[in-house]
Amino acid sequence: MTFPAAGGTRVADHSPEAAVRANTARTSASASSKRPKIDTCATVAALEKVECLLWVGRCPSWRVASGQERRQCICAVASRFDLSRLPLDPFIIRHDFLHSPCCNPTSGTAHAIHRFADSAHLSDPFAFHAFRTHAPRAALVGRMKIPKRLAPLLDEGLIDEVIGQLMSGKEATVYVVRSGDSMRCAKVYKDAKQRSFRQAASYRDGRKVKNSRQARAMEKGTRYGRQMQEELWQNAEVDALFRLADGGVRVPQPYICTDGVLLMELVVDATGDVAPRLNDVHLTEARALELHALLLNQVVRMLCAGVIHGDLSEYNILLAADGPVIIDLPQAIDAAANNEAASMLKRDVDNLAAYFGRFAPQILGADYGTEIWALFEAGELKVDVKLTGRIELDTRPVDLDSVLQELEETRLDEDARVRRQQELSAN
Ligand SMILES: Nc1ncnc2c1ncn2[C@@H]1O[C@H](COP(=O)(O)OP(=O)(O)O)[C@@H](O)[C@H]1O
Ligand SMILES: [Mg+2]
């Protein structure tokens, strides 16, 4: 597809590289200023093909251009070309820098981009309403200053824009961000000093480190050890998310965990707004029974994947358009390696019963936690297990004689061991 060049004249070399050269030559002439200025006319002249819009974003001078310069350039491009003839491939005009990271969606840049989109009938990726429906209202008010911890992700192009802060808890601050045309959730972990109970040793039990040097450093609490501990903590959540998604558990789709930030799917409800927590909704008895059964099955699936949440409650379950989604897993524990696995599983299951029991009191009489753990220990837990909530009590008569004999044998063994030790130390 060919478009008229700027001013109706054709430039000799239309390649992006030529425009870069032209720009560089012009800007080096004004070497007194550190930042090369983008030359709007030269750039637009080189944009013979709309595909070059992609290139604009990659042009070195674009990267350092001010918002004003970018705006001028985009508006110039918009007015020069017949944008209604854009190919219906959003990727063609979608690139990391069209929406500059700190661009306010109501600014001239965004308007220019959305004018492109409208005239080219590119609805979804660029439609302005996407900002309204996919971001929480509060997040849209005012311009968001880029949080320091998210800056590296913007620099690396992992996210394009920070829409707003969703929540700041004791463990993490959660933001709504935009990556390309999708809204995502960025969870920024707080430093160890600021975190609360979940650093407790019981959660760390059974977590593996790469080598014994790291294990020793962590035990001693050296700086390196503390850094290892941090990494282990931050990676635990993304590891659990991948493992659970594989095991058929509905968790947010993880993308990456880097620089202490977990980038994952933003869980939304049927209207496209951020999904509410279970704690924020009211349920009928029938819905409570349905969700309770569904979540018990999720707990079973987690355990089949070897994971126990460790902090499961109505605060860490979101009610999405497609049902409940389990979140917040940095403390997730390894069911086979952690000594407190049984009690943690029981606590998670009891928390579910206490919450859903408010709407359906019959749930309160059952003991699903003990039942699930017993099946797991016996190696009989399956993802489609039918739970009853009742535990079969072992009513067989106890063989008291054999128990007493076992105790006596253990006592004799212990006496012999102590005697041997005393003899050794006497010699
Ligand atoms: N993937 C997500 N999608 C939508 N909202 C989320 C997501 N992850 C977290 N949140 C919101 O952020 C809050 C805090 O996140 P959470 O992972 O529970 O961290 P914390 O350790 O601070 O409790 C949640 O209660 C929820 O409202
Ligand atoms: Mg939480």
CA-proximal residue: ligand 1, atom 1 (nearest): 266
Report whether residue 328 contacts ligand 1, using a CB cutoff of 6 Å.
yes
Residue 109: CB atoms within 10 Å = 22
pLDDT score, position 32: 37
Which residues make Cβ contacts (< 8 Å) with residue 152, sequence separation at least 6? Answer: 258, 259
Report whether residue 311 contacts ligand 1, using a CB cutoff of 6 Å.
no
Closest by CA to 86, choosing from 54, 59, 111, is 54
One digit per residue, the tens of pLDDT, for the chain of length 427 reads: 222 232 322 233 444 344 434 443 433 333 334 434 444 444 444 333 333 343 344 344 444 555 555 555 555 555 544 444 333 232 233 322 333 333 333 334 444 444 444 443 332 222 222 232 233 333 333 446 789 999 999 888 899 888 888 888 778 999 999 888 889 999 999 876 666 555 566 666 666 655 677 667 666 777 777 777 777 777 889 999 999 999 999 999 999 988 889 999 999 988 788 899 999 888 999 999 999 999 999 999 999 999 999 999 999 999 998 999 999 999 999 999 899 999 999 999 999 999 999 999 999 989 999 999 999 999 999 999 999 988 776 677 778 888 888 888 989 999 999 999 888 888 7
Tally of residues, the chain:
427
How far is CA 129 from its chain centroid?
Answer: 24
As a whole number of Å, the end-to-end CA separation of the chain is: 96
Q: How far apart are CA 176 and CA 181, in angstroms?
A: 13
Beta bridge partners of 178: 161, 183
User: Quick one: DSSP state of residue 276?
Assistant: P
Residue 275 alpha carbon, nearest atom of ligand 1: 4
Residue 267 alpha carbon, nearest atom of ligand 1: 3
Structure tokens at 192: 């160890």
- The rounded Å distance from CA 327 to ligand 1 centre is 7
Q: How far apart are CA 374 and CA 35, in angstroms?
A: 67
Report whether residue 171 contacts ligand 1, using a CB cutoff of 6 Å.
yes
pLDDT score, position 19: 41
pLDDT score, position 68: 57
Query: Checking DSSP bridges between strand 323-326 and strand 172-179, what pairing results, if any?
Result: unpaired
Report whether residue 274 contacts ligand 1, using a CB cutoff of 6 Å.
yes
Using DSSP, state whether 135 is helix, strand or coil.
coil
Report whether residue 185 contacts ligand 1, using a CB cutoff of 6 Å.
yes
Report whether residue 361 contacts ligand 1, using a CB cutoff of 6 Å.
no
Report whether residue 169 contacts ligand 1, using a CB cutoff of 6 Å.
yes
Assess contact for 144 and 150: CB atoms under 8 A. Answer: no
pLDDT score, position 1: 25
- The rounded Å distance from CA 238 to ligand 1 centre is 14
Assess contact for 353 and 295: CB atoms under 8 A. Answer: no
pLDDT score, position 103: 33
How far is CA 86 from its chain centroid?
Answer: 34
Using alpha carbons only, what angle is made at residue 193 by residues 330 and 351, rounded to the nearest 5 degrees? 40
- The rounded Å distance from CA 316 to ligand 2 centre is 5
Residues of the chain with CATH 3.30.200.20: 149-265
- The rounded Å distance from CA 198 to ligand 1 centre is 15
Using DSSP, state whether 402 is helix, strand or coil.
helix
Assess contact for 45 and 19: CB atoms under 8 A. Answer: yes
- Give me the DSSP letters along 77-123: HHHHS-GGG--S-HHHH--TTTS-TT--TTSHHHHHHHHHHHHTT--
Report whether residue 369 contacts ligand 1, using a CB cutoff of 6 Å.
no
Residue 328 alpha carbon, nearest atom of ligand 1: 17
Q: How far apart are CA 201 and CA 277, in angstroms?
A: 28
Q: Which residue has the tokens 């004799």?
A: 412
- The rounded Å distance from CA 368 to ligand 2 centre is 23
Report whether residue 316 contacts ligand 1, using a CB cutoff of 6 Å.
yes
Q: Fold for domain 149-265?
A: Phosphorylase Kinase; domain 1 (3.30.200)
pLDDT score, position 209: 59
Residue 27: CB atoms within 10 Å = 18
Task: Please name the helix (run of DSSP H) or strand (run of DSSP E) that holds residue 179, with its range, or none.
Answer: strand 172-179
User: Quick one: DSSP state of residue 37?
Assistant: P
Q: Which residue has the tokens 């994947």?
A: 305
- The rounded Å distance from CA 249 to ligand 2 centre is 17
Report whether residue 309 contacts ligand 1, using a CB cutoff of 6 Å.
no
